[in-house]
């Protein structure tokens, strides 16, 4: 009895604390009165701001952080500019000064004892955040008035704020206080990837601009004449002639007008202006109320066919969200077509801007999504930057409920983009916790983990809780927290209260990177029941929903309790069935193990394989080399998206010249690790067999030699220091077994025959550092090689210095190598020596692809590879090649793009020094150099034309090449740098 009393006592205290915490919730109130004038010639805003700041916190404030977001467009060192480069967006980086923007002319003043006193402004580390020091302390429950003038130079549209000619997108444009809440101040710099967090208040904004601009902004227009004009514009019945006439931008009126907007309980204000828009409007009743909402849609005449019914999408959104979440409280809802660069659309209270779209279906979904943001962040003012799942994730869930993707939008296997995206990244083990802050997520993951994954997780939760319970929880969440700043714990508290079952697993899943993966391991009939054994391969305690289709065609479904490893689910009175499968409501990343049967198939070429079927792709394949001739065959592989854990490429071919079966194969298995300094371990096996040499005896030119190669490799890929880090480290251990045929001759050396094979074993250990950043990327490789008769150690570094001219750069490569002889016999180690110009002869590991691997004349002899010394001059006809030595080699390779637009011409310069006993250099300094021009195609194929060279090369050119300039021209390719089994993920930038 005493225990029961204690339990009841502590329960009462807990409830009292929760009630007390809710009652003691507070938030600041910030009212704004703004006047602004547009200069559409110089693209300037001249404004004045008056703020009434109410301190509802229990704390005394001595300063207020202000966001000056136009300054994000001022410098290429702003947080926005840095993130844009991280996201591989270069438009702002290469933009000229006049295209950029800023805010200035600030003069913050605080009203004190009836007078306005200038406030001190302190800079922060962010160019778009300042700290305004208050002349007097602001005590709890008190308020102050602040004012400042400001001027904004409007940039061209790089992200959100900007202009496209004389069409204006004015958002994040005025000085705005940062949020101060129970967690403290939230000064956050402007970012393209990552949205906002602002204080609620009442707004009055007066905008002065030429009279023929159509303006859509937050809130209600106060001027009856302006409202009447918009109504008249909306009534115009357009035809092709009238639309064509509207395409030309009108000259701005010399007469100016002032439009005043008012709105209450909002946290931001944005406005958009154009002289070209078509206007459409209608009204809609907010569900469950008698409140009439006016919907506006403004768009370009050229997009009439796509946008003409767009106002209906606004109405659909207000009805749908109003029914499922809560009624729309404002008088207007507006959508405008703009020139947005930060995604397909961007929402602000009561108004949203949408970029041009290519079809009606896309427009439907974008409008519903963006207008839906009026609920999730507009009314429920969560911290978008720190918790993007609370607005983008939840809002995307409701977008698909109100407007499910039509059949035309279904992809391979009948799946949506969301399902495919989640599966692709899940299969690559490249998902991140849904609770990750916006700025911490890699660019692609911001879309996949927030916009794709969270909606599917919410469906998972809805089905588990029951739709009625889920909807009840969301409505309570909305009614409790509207016009406030809910935190994740507030969402969790309400949903736990409303769920009849424990949903701890959902919040654990949201906070973990693992993708959901269930497998059906066994199905059997026991007595009068069907027993289904399910394996949870996720590593987190989760429930699963299993479906059974009986022999009679009836569908039965059953949830398991949350479990960790294996669980048996029993379907009573079921003794025969057609199929057993895991429900589509489970966001499973691997469909192939979700069925009681295994499905296999063969398809042509390659592609997306989001289905229950394990597919092998097959297609014709061909190749060419000097020894096997034209090679024809097929390529078989299972490389696709989503990727398979075990991948292979097999390409058998027939050499029409050599009459040999040739080809190559690559096998790869990736072992992903979750709690280790290693991210994953890659196991590779490479097989190759091709011709590599031929007879030069007349009449026997088609007699060729073949090599065979078996090369296993293990690559240890280290975990990156942060989610968005571009720096990777890896260690590779690779072995080689290579067997090469040799010629044997008759006693007169006139009839060559293929003789015995020579077998060699090599080992290679390398440590690689790579920074794949877009501007000034680099990589460094430390390598050691070991063979029976030699050893090598080397270091290679590549650095790209980007110029301020887009697409142009300076490239530097440095190489240092040391050779160790493990045999006293010269010919035992001769071919392994350090090479200044690296050709097929030097590629004893057969890692490169050469068309004429051992040719010493003709076109194919002029293929080189940028390895070791990195020179381009061809030296194959000289047995004592310049720079080829058994001691050391130091080389520097420089090249630069030329400012010739898209013409891919570069200058190059190479210089090296080396050791060894090369007799050519007995009495000379061991220095070689060359310089010339290159023609390159996307760095994959390059033609090298040496023009200036050291004396040794000149002598070789005259004595061996007959002084012929064309014979000094070489070429190279980088196709071997592509890891084909990893190619799909590389293209999608999944790392």
Q: Render pLDDT for 198-257 as a digit per residue (tens, 0 to 9).
A: 999 999 999 999 999 999 999 999 999 999 999 999 999 998 888 888 888 899 999 999
Q: At CA 796, angle to CA 689 and CA 708, rounded to 5?
A: 10
Distance CA 695, CA 753 (A): 9
Cα separation of 964 and 949, whole Å?
Answer: 14
Mean pLDDT of the chain: 93
Over the stretch 905-917, which tens digit does the pLDDT of each residue have?
999 999 999 998 7
| 62 vs 597, more confident | 62
Spans of all domains in the chain? 518-597, 772-991
CA dist., res. 142 & res. 135, Å (int): 14
**pLDDT tens profile 541-580:** 999 999 999 888 889 999 999 999 999 999 998 888 999 9
Residue 6, pLDDT above cutoff 60: no
Residue 427 Rama label (left phi>0; alpha psi -120 to 50; beta): alpha
Q: Mean pLDDT over residues 129-150, rounded?
A: 98
Least confident of 3-7, 755-759, 808-812: 3-7
- Range scoring the smallest mean pLDDT among 746-755, 840-849, 929-938: 746-755
Give the tokens for residue 64. 């207020």
Name, in order, each residue with C-beta under 8 angstroms of 26's C-beta and a sequence gap of 6 or more: 56, 57, 58, 182
pLDDT computed for residue 876 by the predictor: 74
Contact indicator for 61, 30 with CB cutoff of 8 Å: no
Averaged over 789-803, what is the pLDDT? 98
For the segment 457-479, the average pLDDT, to the nearest whole number, is 98
Return the structure tokens found at 327: 């009624």
Mean of pLDDT values over 756-763: 94
What average pLDDT does this structure show over 19-40?
87
Reported as a pLDDT band with limits 50, 70 and 90, residue 749 is: low
pLDDT of residue 4: 38
At 334, list the tokens: 């507006």
Q: According to the model, what pLDDT value does residue 747 have?
A: 65
Q: What is the mean pLDDT of residues 831-842?
A: 94
Q: Mean pLDDT across the stretch 410-438?
A: 81
Residue 167 · residue 210 · CB < 8 Å: no
Which position has the token pair 């097959």?
Answer: 618
Read off the pLDDT of residues 876-928 as tens digits, 9 standing for 90 and up.
766 678 899 999 999 999 999 999 988 999 999 999 999 987 545 454 678 99
Bridging pattern class, strands 220-221 and 646-655? unpaired
Q: What is the pLDDT of residue 342?
A: 76
CB-CB contact of 54 with 30 (8 Å): yes
Residue 18: pLDDT band with limits 50, 70, 90: very low
Average pLDDT, stretch 649-665?
97
CA proximity to 642, closest of 712, 593, 715:
593
Helix (H, G, I), strand (E, B) or coil at 700: coil
Q: Which pLDDT does position 613 carry in this prediction?
A: 86
DSSP 8-state symbol, 405: P
Q: What does the pLDDT read at residue 544?
A: 98
The dihedral formed by the CA atoms of 522, 526, 531 and 537, expressed in degrees to the nearest 10: -40
User: Distance between CA 911 and CA 893 in Å, rounded?
Assistant: 7
Half-sphere exposure of 781 (CA within 13 A, CB side): 17
pLDDT of residue 441: 97
Within 10 A of 852 (CB to CB), how many other CB atoms are there? Answer: 22
DSSP secondary structure code for residue 542 in this structure: B
Edge-first strand listing for the sheet containing 271-274: 162-164, 167-170, 271-274, 214-217
For residue 291, count CB atoms less than 10 angstroms from its CB and return exposed for 0-12, middle for 13-18, buried for 19 or more. Answer: middle
Q: Which string of DSSP letters, residue by residue, matches 796-838? A: EEEEEEE-SSTT-EEEEEEEEEEEEE--S-HHHHGGGSB-SSB
pLDDT band at 948 (very low <50, low <70, confident <90, very high): very high
**Which has the minimum average pLDDT: 48-57, 808-817, 976-985?**
976-985
Residue 672 has pLDDT above 90, yes or no: yes
d(CA 872, CA 953): 11
Residue pair 30/53 in contact by the 8 Å Cβ criterion: yes
Overall CATH class of domain 518-597: mainly beta
Going by pLDDT thresholds of 50, 70 and 90, the confidence category of residue 13 is: very low
Q: What is the pLDDT of residues 843-876, one digit of tens each?
A: 999 999 999 999 988 999 999 999 999 999 998 7
Give the residue from 729, 711, 710 showing the smallest Cα distance to 719: 729
User: How do 292-299 and 332-337 pair as beta strands?
Assistant: parallel
What CA–CA distance (Å, rounded) separates 263 from 526? 66
**pLDDT bucket at 11, cuts 50 / 70 / 90:** very low
CA distances in angstroms from 577 to 477, 532, 544, 548, 784, listed in the order given: 42, 12, 19, 7, 60
Which tokens belong to 815? 């190489």
Q: How many degrees, rounded to 5, is the angle at CA 654 between CA 651 and CA 655?
A: 120
Pairing type for strands 905-914 and 888-897 reads: antiparallel
Query: What tokens appear for 661 in the block?
Result: 């079966």
pLDDT value, residue 7:
39
Contact by Cβ (8 Å): 353, 169: yes
With contact defined as beta carbons under 8 Å apart, do 146 and 119 qualify? yes
């Amino acid at each position: 009895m005493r225990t029961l009393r204690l339990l009841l006592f502590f329960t009462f205290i807990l409830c009292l604390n929760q009630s007390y915490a809710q009652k003691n919730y507070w938030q600041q109130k910030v009212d704004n009165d703004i006047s602004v004038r547009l200069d559409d010639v110089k693209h300037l805003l001249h404004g004045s701001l008056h703020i009434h700041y109410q301190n509802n916190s229990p704390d005394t404030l001595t300063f207020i952080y202000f966001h000056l977001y136009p300054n994000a467009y001022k410098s290429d060192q702003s947080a926005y500019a840095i993130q844009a480069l991280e996201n591989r967006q270069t438009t702002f980086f290469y933009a000229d000064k006049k295209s950029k923007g800023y805010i200035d002319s600030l003069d913050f003043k605080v009203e004190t004892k009836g007078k306005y006193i200038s406030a001190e402004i302190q800079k922060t580390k962010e160019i778009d955040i300042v700290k305004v020091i208050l002349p007097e302390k602001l005590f709890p429950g008190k308020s102050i008035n602040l004012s400042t003038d400001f001027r904004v130079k409007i940039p061209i549209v790089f992200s959100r704020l900007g202009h496209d000619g004389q069409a204006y997108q004015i958002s994040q444009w005025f000085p705005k206080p940062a949020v101060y809440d129970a967690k403290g101040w939230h000064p956050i710099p402007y970012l393209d990837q990552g949205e906002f967090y602002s204080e609620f208040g009442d707004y009055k904004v007066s905008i002065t601009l030429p009279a023929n601009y159509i303006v859509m902004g937050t809130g209600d227009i106060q001027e009856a004449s302006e409202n009447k004009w918009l109504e008249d514009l909306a009534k115009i019945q357009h035809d092709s002639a009238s639309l064509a006439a509207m395409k030309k931008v009108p000259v701005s009126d010399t007469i100016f007008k002032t439009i005043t907007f008012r709105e209450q309980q909002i946290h931001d204000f944005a406005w958009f202006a154009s002289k070209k828009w078509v206007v459409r409007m209608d009204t809609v009743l907010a569900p469950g109320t008698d409140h009439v909402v006016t919907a506006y849609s403004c768009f370009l005449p050229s997009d009439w066919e796509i946008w003409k019914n767009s106002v209906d999408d606004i109405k659909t959104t207000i009805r749908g969200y109003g029914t499922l979440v809560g009624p729309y409280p404002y008088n207007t809802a507006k959508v405008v077509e703009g020139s947005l660069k930060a995604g397909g659309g961007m929402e602000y209270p009561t108004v949203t801007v949408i970029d041009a779209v290519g079809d009606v279906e896309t427009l439907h979904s974008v409008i519903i999504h963006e207008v839906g943001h009026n609920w999730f962040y507009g009314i429920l003012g969560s911290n978008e930057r720190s918790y993007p799942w609370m607005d983008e994730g939840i809002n995307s869930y409701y977008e698909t409920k109100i407007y499910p993707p039509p059949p035309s939008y279904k992809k391979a296997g009948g799946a949506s983009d969301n399902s495919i995206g989640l599966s692709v990244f899940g299969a690559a083990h490249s998902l991140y916790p849904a609770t990750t802050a916006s700025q911490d997520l890699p660019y692609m993951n911001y879309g996949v983990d927030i916009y794709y994954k969270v909606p599917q997780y919410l469906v998972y939760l809805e089905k588990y809780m029951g739709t009625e319970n889920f909807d009840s929880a969301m409505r309570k969440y909305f009614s409790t927290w509207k016009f406030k700043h809910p935190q994740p714990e507030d969402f969790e508290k309400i949903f736990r209260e409303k769920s009849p079952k424990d949903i701890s697993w959902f919040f654990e899943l949201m906070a973990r990177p693992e993708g959901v993966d269930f497998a059906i391991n066994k199905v059997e009939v026991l007595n009068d029941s069907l027993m289904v054994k399910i394996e949870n391969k996720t590593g987190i305690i989760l429930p699963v929903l299993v479906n059974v289709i009986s022999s009679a065609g009836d569908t039965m479904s059953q949830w398991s309790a949350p479990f960790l490893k294996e669980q048996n689910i029993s379907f009573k009175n079921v003794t025969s069935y057609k199929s057993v499968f895991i429900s589509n409501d489970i966001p499973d990343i691997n469909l192939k193990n979700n069925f009681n049967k295994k499905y296999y198939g063969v398809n042509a070429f390659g592609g997306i394989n989001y289905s229950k079927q394990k597919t092998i792709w097959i297609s014709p394949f061909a190749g060419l080399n000097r020894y096997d001739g034209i090679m024809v065959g097929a390529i078989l592989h299972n490389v696709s998206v989503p990727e398979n854990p075990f991948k292979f490429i097999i390409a058998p071919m027939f050499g029409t010249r050599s009459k040999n079966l040739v080809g190559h194969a690559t096998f790869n298995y990736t072992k992903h690790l979750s709690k280790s300094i290693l991210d994953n371990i890659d196991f590779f096996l490479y097989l190759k067999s091709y011709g590599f040499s031929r007879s030069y005896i007349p009449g026997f030119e088609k007699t060729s030699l073949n090599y065979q190669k078996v090369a296993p490799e293990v690559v240890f890929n280290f975990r990156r220091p942060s989610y968005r880090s571009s720096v990777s480290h890896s260690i590779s251990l690779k072995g080689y077994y290579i067997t090469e045929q040799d010629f044997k001759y008759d006693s007169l050396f006139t009839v060559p025959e293929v003789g015995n094979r020579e077998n060699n074993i090599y080992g290679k250990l390398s440590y690689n550092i790579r920074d794949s950043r877009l501007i000034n990327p680099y990589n460094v490789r430390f390598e050691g090689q070991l063979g029976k008769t030699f050893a090598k150690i080397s270091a290679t570094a590549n650095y790209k210095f980007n110029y301020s001219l887009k697409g142009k750069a300076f490239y530097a490569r440095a190489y240092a190598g040391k050779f160790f002889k493990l045999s006293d016999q010269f010919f035992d180690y001769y071919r392994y020596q350090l090479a200044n110009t690296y050709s097929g002869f030097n590629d004893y590991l057969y890692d490169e692809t050469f068309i004429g691997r051992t040719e010493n004349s003709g076109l194919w002899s002029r293929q080189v590879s940028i390895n070791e010394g990195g020179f381009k001059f061809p030296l194959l006809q000289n047995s004592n090649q310049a720079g080829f030595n058994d001691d050391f080699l130091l080389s520097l390779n420089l090249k630069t793009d030329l400012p010739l637009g898209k013409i891919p011409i570069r200058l190059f310069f190479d210089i090296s020094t080396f050791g060894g006993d090369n007799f050519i250099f007995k009495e000379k300094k061991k220095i070689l150099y060359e310089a010339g021009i290159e023609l390159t195609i996307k760095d994959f194929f390059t033609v090298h034309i040496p023009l200036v060279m050291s004396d040794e090369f000149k002598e070789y050119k005259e004595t061996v090449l007959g002084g012929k300039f064309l014979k000094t021209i070489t070429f190279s390719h980088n196709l071997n740098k592509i890891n084909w089994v990893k190619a799909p993920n590389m293209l999608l930038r999944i790392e």
